[in-house]
Amino acid sequence: MSSAPKYARGVVTVTVNGADVALICSPRAAGIISKVTSGLQNALNSLIAVDYETVLGIYCAGSGKAPADAEQELFDHGITPMARVLYQYVLMLLNGGRTAEERAADEAAAAKRGNGDAAAPVPMADAGEPAAS
């Protein structure tokens, strides 16, 4: 029996055969997945299609396990359930290791600090000084 995966900043934890496996969000994992699938969009499409080689490759890239060690774990967990977890994992990679909710919260916090807030007022030139060009 497996429990629901846990999504946290930079890591997805999935329970396989009673042991927690951490799928780490990193630039290295994103690069490996992109190279193997010819792009992260292709990775997502292949996960939707439940392409076994893609599911195994992404699981290995995230967990750091060799394919020989990962195959039985993947089979025991279930290929389709793992494909669903890995889809969310790839989405997190696309968001800098964050869930969509974490990314939105980060953007809101940055806007409050004034970083990247497009609605911030632009200072106007005084009547006696020339406007910037």
- Tens-binned pLDDT, residue by residue, of the chain (133 aa): 457 888 788 899 999 999 999 999 999 999 999 999 999 999 999 999 999 999 999 999 999 999 999 999 999 999 999 999 999 999 999 988 888 787 777 788 888 887 554 555 545 445 554 444 4
pLDDT at 1: 47
Looking at residue 131, its pLDDT comes to 44
Q: What is the pLDDT of residue 75?
A: 95
So what's the pLDDT on residue 86? 97
**Cα angle at 26 between 21 and 32, to 5 degrees?**
90
Show Cβ contacts of residue 93 under 8 Å, excluding neighbours closer than 6 positions.
25, 29, 30, 33, 40
